Structure 1
Amino acid sequence: MESSIFFIVVGAVAVAAVARWKGWPAPLLVTVVALLASFLPFVPDVAIDGHVLLNIVLPPLLYSAALDVSFLSFKRAMPQIRRLGVGLVVVTAGVVGLLAWWIMPELTLPGALLLGAIVAPPDAVSAAAIGRRLGLPRRVMTVLSGESLINDATSLTMYRVFAAIVAGATVTLAGGVGQFFVAVLVGVAVGLAFGAVMHRLRMRVADPVVNGTFGLLAPFGAYAIAEQLLGSGVLAVVAMGLFVGFNAPKTSYATRQQEAPLWLSADFLLESFVFAYIGLQLPRVLADLNDGEVGVVVLLSAVVLVAVLLVRPLFVYPAHAWGQWWTRRRLRRWKRVIAMHPDAVAARGRGRHPLSEEQLRRRLAETRLSWRDNAVISWAGMRGVVTLATALAAADLAGIDGAAAHAIVVVAFVVTVGTLLLQGLTLPWLIRMLGVVDDSEQQEDARELAAVHERSREAGKAYLRAMRREWAQEHGEEQLPAFDAYAKRLVRVQSDAEQTGVEQQLRPTAEQFTTLAKGWLAVRRQLLLEERAAGNLSEEVMHELIAAMDAEELALDTRVALRT
């Protein structure tokens, strides 16, 4: 079996590499090729326990995704993310469960709802890859990515509740809701604890290899411990990833540069294997059906596939309209409060004055999405690894008969492959046809860049003035011309980088100048963190600027190493 898995991984990576080279969506191509290859007689039949697949694949994929999500954008889009990641999953599970129970009563209602929980959560891997390639606005990408980070927790909690009922346990509605809140609280607490430890380690340990290795291990630890404590392993990993990612600019540049390609490679490997495994399993699953089950299972699979395709847009548009109405209601209420008690709410502002209407709107209003944005979100509902793994795990549950187990697995695989092909292949066309781009977002980025560059120059010059005085005291006034020459070079390099987007390599003339340049970079990084905290700079733009500074610092250290 080990050799079979190795060859599957190699083949999947090769196909995914071709897809990246051609600019095609890799998950779709890998799934299609694996599906076609599964009919070849020499292709091995590999079966992996669903719990093992979930525990191995899900933690690193979730952690890597959380590292890349802007925490501030995630927080701003939380109302939409919460509705999709919790509300839509519950609604989808309920609709699918009732339909499945009606078509195939032998599933029983708990078993049908178990099937609904399995097929409810979308996997944003494919959608995110397509969105990045076609340049979807950040507001849409944030909602899709944020939904994928929390919908798995909702789905897996529901899965545990209905699996317990299928096994014969008595679970009340209040007990199920209580279990969900316990899972959320414990999962987030464990994740934040792991995140705090990881951040402290990254701040104290200078070795990027050690930090990267612990980063690979930590998601598995957070997931396992949270699950053991009856919490959500998914939320634990997500909370840890958001905490570490938000604080990543405070760590050393070497850790950041080591981390980025490490997680890109891990994601590429795991995603390639998962989608190949999805394609390879479908024929085996269909072959396990008895002749008498084929008709009703095919009908059930088709109905559930149509249901998950339709429920999403029927939920997204009314939910967004309700969110905008609720935002207007909250704004009107707070305006009345401010008008009646201006002094009482003044402390909520950053200064001594009450919150302005624009500040109030920025704090209370959720992101406004156009009907085109919601169309893309509605069609980005491809299923993936969670649906696959939980379906395989459900087949081994106690209390479920063979026919029901086969039906659940077949329906889950049909929905997964069907959504990958139907939605995945047409989503790029939909994005192009609707023209879902945002020129205003690019213009806002340009304004932020211009403003932060000006403040960065002023902060850098203030740092150089302070260092000039220290330089004169340490090396004497006669050495100031050398300091001034290098200071001008630092300012010129920054100006050139702002105009061309490419940082020039610095050429220190002495070891002390390298220290001076590192201090210059530290001042500029600190300014970016302050601008982010003040809300003047988006986190995405900040990361781009810090990446350029990291390259500049790497050039400094490389030249120092070459001289020694």
Structure 2
Amino acid sequence: MIWQVETTQALWLLAVPVSALTVAAAARRLGLSAPLVLVIAGLLLSFVPGVPEFELDPEFVLYVFLPPLLFSAAWQSSYYNLRENVRSIALLSVGLVLFTTFAVGYTAHLLVPGLPLSAAFVLGAIVAPPDAVAAVSVAQRLGLPRRAVTVLVGESLFNDATALTAFRVAVIAATGAGFTLADGALRFLFAALAGAAVGLLLGPPLHWLRTRLDDPLVENGVALAAPFAAYLIAETVHASGVIAVVVSGLYLGHRFTESPAVTRLIGRSFWKVMVFVLETVVFLLIGLQLPPVIDGLSQRGWTELAGWAVAIFAVTVAARFVWVFPASYIPVWVSKRAREKDSGIGWRGRVIVSWAGMRGVVSLAAAFAIPFVTSDDKPFPGRDLILFLTFTTVLGTLLVQGLTFPMLIRVLRVGSDRERYTDTVAEAGAQHAAAQAALERLEELNAEEELDESVVTRLRELAEHRQLRAWERLGGGTGPEGEEVPTATYRRLRREMLSAERRVFVRMRDERRIDDEVLDRVMHELDLEEVALHRD
């Protein structure tokens, strides 16, 4: 009987990721936002008879899900872009989070009878940090200006640290464990600085180790262990695990160019799969959280609850607008340097940034981490209500803001075609210069070693082909009359040739003329060549 119960639980645990991947695949095929569809699917599944309650374990989320997601985002972020926009990122990831905490906290304290201000601030800290996963993916797909995307990415990297620190301070105050405003400020500063120190101390030795392993699989295994190590070490010394993970990820990602090519190929694919799986499971779990949240609210009227939920959602959304516009315009008005640095995204871009405030799994994990009792063994004030208001705010932002976000970008026409053209020109120039350097080096080697002329000719053609391909991208792959340019023809024909080669190799394997190991090796070579043919 025990075996049967455990088997049933294991089947349900397997059903969650399988269902999440199935829904995500359908959403991607239909061109829909996968995070939003997954939340709705989870919400609908939670009402199906027989589906068990899946209650998020906050420790599991914060120690298992959060580190790799943050690390991957930091790894892929541009250190230089983040540094150039550090003022805007800090104003959002620190200033806006604290402002939202106070705005939502005071609103909840005034609206809900008997809810202490300290407990209300716990709610404010929980719903303060946006999760920019969905927003950034849509923004990049629709061509939002790079500075706006960088700011959103930078905010999502660091705002969790501010919110979780504010959450812990508010919980200490609400449980009566002894608290002053000075204590809270010191805790926050220590957590941030110590977390950054852990990340900086961990990054260089991990990079040194990875560059000396000479084994792509082991190197990427070290990268996988890095976020968990950074988070665990930082949390052990009461520092910010989030900042430690982000700083170490930025450092290792910035030095990733020093890794071998095979390591980079494997790493990119690995992290894409890892993030995709984790995000699909997390967003489905968000939707499945409703039944355990509702269970603790049987004593309250639903009309009253709905009113509070709408009010908290509205204040959460409005607080971002109230903060973003003054915080972005005032420095430009008072500082000449800020005016020169401002990219001129205008009010439309600021509206987009203000609307990109979808909340996610960090808010729910923090809500479930609220203790059940205070220091004097009394029930934590309003815990069930805080859980409910957190869930409705997360769901509201994902559905209302998430569903309308792509449409808002199109209506306001903030896509940056000029920026894309500039990037293409810059890439073509860089490709041209790099190919020229390669040709010069080839001539030097030819003069020194008297190489086989057929080999030299072949290498010259390859370098010249890369030069030509870079400039032809400016025309979108077509000539002046819309005809196919030579490099596009080359790619199309070469892909057909590669397909023919694969068919021969597979047929010879099926006829047992070559072994599967041989097939795997030659297929890998063909795959690498085909990937190189595709334009990113």
Query: What TM bracket, shorter-length normalisation?
Result: 0.7 to 0.9
The whole-number CA distance in structure 1 between the counterparts of 2:218 and 2:435 is: 35
* Structure-2 separation of matches of 1:490 and 1:11: 46
Matching residue within 346, 359, 372 for 1:370:
346
1:56 aligns with 2:64: yes
Q: Match for residue 245 of structure 1?
A: 253
Mapping for residues 79-228 of structure 1, pairs under 5 Å: 79-228=87-236
Tell me, in whole angstroms, the C-alpha distance in 2 between the residues paired with 1:397 and 1:328. Answer: 52
2:393 counterpart of 1:415: yes
Report whether the alignment pairs 1:275 with 2:275.
no
Give the gaps of 5 or more residues in structure 1.
332-360, 473-478, 508-550, 559-564
| Deviation of 1:499 (Å) | 4.5
Change (3 A) 1:98 1:140: same
| TM-score, structure 2 as length reference | 0.84
Q: Distance in 2 between matches of 1:10 and 1:138?
A: 35
Letter in 1 for 2:368: L
Residue 327 of structure 1: CA displacement?
A: 3.5
Distance 2:221 2:467 in 1: 37
Q: How does 1:443-462 map to 2 (within 5 A)?
A: 443-462=421-440
CA 1:394 to 1:162, structure 2 compared with 1: closer, same or farther past 3 Å?
same
How far apart are residue 326 of structure 1 and its match?
4.0
CA distance 1:487–1:329, shift in 2 (3 Å): closer
Misfit runs of 4+, over 4 Å: 293-296, 499-505, 551-556
- % identical equivalent positions: 38
Query: In structure 2, what is the equivalent of residue 467 of structure 1?
Result: 445
Q: Is the 8 A contact 2:432 2:470 kept in 1?
A: no
Matched pairs, number: 477
Within 1, Cα distance between the matches of 2:63 and 2:373? 17
Which of 468, 493, 496 is residue 465 of structure 2 equivalent to?
Answer: 493
Give the C-alpha shift of residue 218 in structure 1: 1.4
Residue in structure 2 matched with residue 306 of structure 1 by the alignment: 314
Residues 500 and 397 (structure 1), Cα distance of their counterparts in 2 relative to 1, 3 Å cut: farther
Give how far 1:330 is off.
Answer: 6.5
Partner residue of 2:370 out of 369, 394, 397? 394
**Superposition deviation, residue 448 in structure 1:** 1.3
| 2:419 corresponds to | 441
Residue 188 (structure 1) shift: 1.0
RMSD: 2.6
Q: Distance in 2 between the 1:133 and 1:409 partners?
A: 33
Distance in 1 between residues matched to 2:257 and 2:526, nearest whole Å: 15
Determine the structure 2 residue equivalent to 1:232. 240
Q: Does 1:429 align with 2:401?
A: no
Do the aligned partners of residues 403 and 36 (structure 1) sit closer, same or farther apart at CA in structure 2, a change above 3 Å counting?
farther
**CA displacement at 1:555 relative to structure 2:** 4.4
Deviates most, 198-207 or 53-62:
198-207
Deviation at 1:293, TM superposition (A): 5.8
User: 5+ unaligned residues in a row in structure 2: which ranges?
Assistant: 1-8, 474-486, 495-524
Distance 1:48 1:424 in 2: 23
Contact 2:56–2:285 (CA under 8 A) maintained in structure 1: no
Contact 1:382–1:423, Cα closer than 8 Å, also in 2: yes
2 CA distance for matches of 1:15 and 1:422? 20
* Cα deviations by residue, 1:498-517 (Å, 9 ceiling, x for unpaired): 24567989x9xxxxxxxxxx
Deviation of the 1:132 alpha carbon:
2.5
Q: Is the 8 A contact 2:53 2:291 kept in 1?
A: no
Match of 1:404 in 2: 382
How far did residue 201 of structure 1 move? Answer: 2.4
Matches of 2:193 and 2:12, distance apart in 1: 40
* CA distances 1:1-42 after superposition (whole Å, capped 9, x unpaired): 443222111111110111111110001001111111111112
* 1:283 to partner: Cα distance: 3.0
Select 2:359's aligned residue among 380, 383, 390: 383
